[in-house]
Chains A and B, each alone.
Chain A
Amino acid sequence: MSSVPRMEKLQDRVSLKDQLRRNDELFAETGSLFGMKTLPRKQADPGMYEAVWAILLNICNTGWIVGCKVSSSPVAAEGGDALWCLHLPTGEAVCASKGIVSHPGLLSLLIRSYIEHGYEEYPGFHHGDIFENNDSHYGGLHSPDFQTAVPIFYDGELVAWAASVSHVMDAGFVTPGSIGFLNPDCFSDGVPVTMEKIGENDRVYPWYEMRMRSRTRTPDWVLGDARGRLAGCLTIRDRVTKLIDKYGLAYFQDVTREYIEDSRRYAVGRIRTQGVPGRLRKSNFKDLAMAGKRVILPQQNVDCLFNQPLEVTIDANAKVRFSVRGASGWVPFGENITPSACISGLLNVYSHMVGFDMFNWGAAAAWELETPPAGSWANPYPVNYFASSGVAWAPAVTWLSSLYEVLGRLYFTRGYVEEVAAGAATTMTAEFSGVNQYGLFTAGLTLEQASNGQPARAMADGDNSAWSIYTPQADFGNAEISELFYPIMFLGRNVEPDSGGYGKFRGGLGHTAVWMIKNTPGIEYQCGCAGLRSKVVANHGMFGAYPTWPDRPSYATGTNVKELIDAQKPLVHERGDSDEPDLVKRVRATRLEPNGVAPFVTPEPLHEYDLVVHPISGAQAFGDPLERDPELVRSDLDAGWTRERVAAEVYGVVARRDATSGEWTVDQAATERRRNDMRAARKKRGVPFRQWWKDERKRILARENMASAVLDMWRASMTLSPDYAAELRAFWKLPDDFTF
Chain B
Amino acid sequence: MAGYDESEIEKLIDGKLPWTRVQEIMKDAKDADRIEKWVAILQRRVKWPERILLPLTPCLFIVQKGRSRIVKCRCGQEFGDYRANWKLEALIHVRETEASLREVYRGSEQPDPAWVQIREYSCPGCGAQLEVEAVPRGCPPDFNFLPDLDTFYRDWLERPLPDEQEFADKTLEVVRSWSEE
Contacts and interface: CB of A to CB of B under 8 A. Distances in A.
The 3 closest A-B pairs by CB, nearest first: A541-B132, A415-B38, A686-B91
B51 interface: no
Given A687-B91, A713-B136, A537 B15 contact: no
Contacts of B38: 414-415
Contacts of A490: none
B104 to A, nearest CB: 6
A707 B116 CA distance: 9
Interface string A28-72: 000000000000000000000000000000000000000000000
A27 B108 CA distance: 52
5 contacts: A277-B151, A535-B112, A537-B111, A542-B131, A696-B94
Given A535-B112, A543-B57, A690-B178, A731 B140 contact: yes
B161 interface: no
Interface in B137-177: 137-149, 151-152, 155-156, 167, 169, 171-172, 175-176
Contact of A417 (B12, B56, B116, B120): B12
Given A539-B142, A543-B57, A624 B129 contact: yes
A195 to B, nearest CB: 40
Interface of A: 272-274, 276-283, 285, 287, 305, 314-316, 409, 412-419, 458-460, 502, 504-505, 535-547, 549-550, 552, 554, 575, 577-581, 594-595, 623-627, 629, 649-650, 678-683, 685-690, 692-694, 696-697, 699-700, 704-707, 709-710, 713-714, 727-728, 730-733, 740
A273 B30 contact: yes
Contact of A414 (B15, B35, B58, B139): B35
Given A409-B145, A624-B129, A279 B169 contact: yes
B144 A282 contact: yes
Given A535-B116, A682-B129, A710-B138, A543 B109 contact: no
A710 B144 contact: no
A502 B118 CA distance: 14
A699 to B, nearest CB: 7
Contacts of B156: 272, 276-277
Interface in B74-113: 87-94, 96, 103-113
A412 B55 contact: yes
B124 A686 contact: yes
Q: Which among A414, A650, A740 has the greatest number of chain B C-beta atoms within 10 A?
A: A414
Given A549-B108, A581-B108, 17 more contacts: A279-B143, A409-B145, A417-B12, A537-B118, A538-B134, A545-B132, A546-B118, A550-B109, A578-B107, A580-B107, A624-B58, A624-B59, A683-B91, A689-B89, A693-B175, A730-B176, A733-B176
B175 A733 contact: yes
Q: Which among A623, A682, A687 has the greatest number of chain B C-beta atoms within 10 A?
A: A682
Given A413-B54, A413-B55, A544-B132, A549 B34 contact: no
Contacts of B114: 705-707, 710
Contact of B111 (A460, A549, A629, A700): A549
Contacts of A305: 115, 136
A539 B108 contact: no
B171 to A, nearest CB: 8
B172 A730 contact: yes
A539 B147 contact: no
A412 B54 CA distance: 10
B126 interface: yes
Given A277-B156, A578-B108, A740 B138 contact: yes
A550 B118 CA distance: 13
B90 A689 contact: yes
Contact of B22 (A285, A459, A623): A459
Interface in B45-72: 54-59
A540 B118 CA distance: 11
Contacts of A693: 88, 175, 178
B131 A543 contact: yes
Contacts of B15: 459-460, 505, 629
B137 A699 contact: yes
Nearest to A419: B26
A539 B135 contact: yes
Contact of B91 (A415, A416, A682): A682
Given A413-B56, A546-B132, A733-B180, A710 B26 contact: no
Contacts of B175: 693, 730-731, 733
A374 to B, nearest CB: 23
Contacts of B171: 731
Contacts of B103: 649
A279 B54 CA distance: 14
A282 B142 CA distance: 6
Contact of B116 (A273, A414, A536, A546): A536
A544 B130 contact: yes
B9 to A, nearest CB: 7
Contacts of A728: 138, 140
A728 to B, nearest CB: 6
B20 to A, nearest CB: 13
Contact of A689 (B92, B116, B134): B92
A285 B140 contact: no
